[in-house]
């Protein structure tokens, strides 16, 4: 008996309707929909009666009994679901009911086709890097957690910047005042890191990203480092500004003065199910509605041909520009023929 775990944002009417449709399609295909007790109770209250054929997680079955998780909502809903299933290595497929929805595989209009692909097993599973986050103070580990998108150190008070030192692999990089620092995965490069001015990194690139937020400094550029590196942010104590740590915008911790936040690659990824092979570049264009008018693309293989005449790499009379030398300060930097000795 196959079981599919259904996550939903029960506070939204469109999510409730999508959940009822998903459960109905799964049941009609002979697959048992499973929900968490609180989601099932909220759904029952919303529609006025229990949804037939739905099993309750941790009552009728366990995570190990489930094949896949379907998330109906936005990226926040996917992050909430990832908290529950990450250690069980359960793949998730998101159906976007939000705005951008970078973590989602399909849109609301594709719900029926998505369920059909799940029923037929027509999907692949990819692993997304996560990060381990540790908070230290006076050589004591105060907290340890993880993130799929990012760990963000932010100022706690709007009026005061925080003073930090950023570090990579045990070596300091720079000190500055800022609104915060984002330490992200490639998956998180299109989330908070992107909003802070960081680079967009393809999900299959093995790298870690560090992005200062509104830094008051000449050198405070985004950094892309090795996946084996350790990134760190140390809170300086020369001001009384306080800070807070946010992981995926969900788990938070107040940071004491002098706290040190270390981020490394985690050994436990989050698994996402994919129904299609749309390149990330195309997803980027679609999600951000990027202008691509005028693009011609590479020449088709059957249309390519070599030039009828070889093009010269170096043409006669080409001049080179020689730099000044310390022993020839009076020689101007001008174009001269290659064999200048023959002119004299």
Phi, then psi, of 82 in degrees rounded to 5: -60, -35
Output the pLDDT for position 12. 82
Q: Where are the domains of the chain?
A: 3-128, 131-268
Q: CA 143, CA 191: separation in Å to the nearest integer?
A: 24
Report the percentage of the chain scoring pLDDT > 90: 70
The tokens of 270 are what? Answer: 């989050």
pLDDT at 171 over 70: yes
Confidence of residue 30 (pLDDT cuts 50, 70, 90): very high
Please identify which residue in the block is written with the tokens 């790298």: 207
Which of 2-6, 42-46, 147-151 comes out lowest in average pLDDT? 42-46
SS3 at position 82: helix
Query: 138 an active-site residue?
Result: no
Output the pLDDT for position 326. 55
pLDDT at 234 over 90: yes
- Is the model more confident about 49 or about 133? 133
Q: CA 337, CA 34: separation in Å to the nearest integer?
A: 79
What is the arithmetic mean of pLDDT over 163-177?
96
Nearest Cα to Cα of residue 186 among 135, 156, 147, 234: 147
Which of 63-77, 106-120, 138-152, 316-330 comes out lowest in average pLDDT? 316-330
271-330 confidence digits (pLDDT tens): 999 988 789 999 899 888 999 999 988 888 887 777 666 666 666 666 666 665 555 555
CATH of domain 131-268: 2.60.200.30
Confidence of residue 98 (pLDDT cuts 50, 70, 90): confident
Output the pLDDT for position 317. 66
What is the arithmetic mean of pLDDT over 33-60?
91
Phi, then psi, of 7 in degrees rounded to 5: -100, 140
Output the pLDDT for position 302. 80
Confidence of residue 13 (pLDDT cuts 50, 70, 90): confident
- Is the model more confident about 27 or about 326? 27
What class is the 3-128 domain? alpha beta
Strand partners, 272: 92, 126
Annotated binding site for NAD(+): 75-76, 80, 149-150, 160, 179, 190-195
pLDDT at 66 over 80: yes
- Is the model more confident about 302 or about 185? 185
pLDDT at 93 over 90: yes
Output the pLDDT for position 282. 92
Q: Which of 14, 60, 75, 302 is catalytic?
A: 75
Output the pLDDT for position 1. 85
């Amino acid at each position: 008996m196959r079981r599919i775990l259904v996550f939903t944002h029960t506070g939204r009417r469109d999510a409730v309707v999508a959940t009822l449709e998903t459960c109905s399609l799964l049941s009609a295909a002979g697959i048992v929909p499973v929900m968490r007790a609180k989601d099932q109770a909220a759904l029952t209250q919303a529609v006025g009666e229990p949804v037939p054929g739905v099993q309750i997680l941790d009552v009728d079955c366990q995570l190990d009994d489930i094949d896949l998780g379907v998330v109906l909502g936005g990226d926040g809903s996917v992050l909430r679901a990832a908290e529950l299933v990450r250690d069980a290595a359960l793949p998730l497929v998101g159906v976007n009911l939000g705005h951008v929805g970078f973590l989602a595989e399909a849109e609301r209009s594709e719900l029926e086709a998505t369920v059909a692909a799940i029923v037929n097993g027509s999907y692949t599973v990819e692993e997304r890097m996560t990060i381990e986050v540790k908070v230290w103070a006076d050589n004591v580990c105060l907290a340890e957690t993880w993130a799929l998108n990012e760990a963000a150190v932010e100022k706690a008070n709007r009026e005061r910047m925080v003073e930090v030192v950023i570090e990579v692999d045990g070596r300091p990089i720079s000190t500055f005042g800022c609104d915060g620092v984002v330490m992200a995965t490639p998956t998180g490069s299109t989330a908070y890191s992107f909003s802070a001015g960081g680079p967009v990194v393809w999900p299959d690139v093995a790298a870690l990203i560090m992005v200062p937020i509104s830094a008051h400094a000449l050198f405070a550029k985004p950094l892309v480092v090795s996946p084996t590196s350790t990134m760190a942010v140390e809170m300086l104590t020369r001001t009384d500004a306080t800070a807070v740590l946010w992981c995926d915008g969900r788990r938070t911790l107040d940071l004491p003065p002098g706290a040190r936040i270390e981020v490394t690659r985690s050994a436990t990824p989050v698994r996402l199910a994919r129904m299609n092979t749309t390149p990330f570049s195309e997803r980027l264009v679609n999600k951000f509605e990027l202008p691509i008018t005028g693009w011609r693309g590479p020449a088709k293989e059957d249309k390519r041909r070599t030039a009828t005449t070889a093009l010269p790499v170096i043409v006669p009379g080409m001049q080179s520009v020689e730099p000044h030398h310390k022993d020839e300060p009076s020689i101007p930097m001008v174009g001269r023929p290659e064999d200048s000795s023959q002119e004299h």
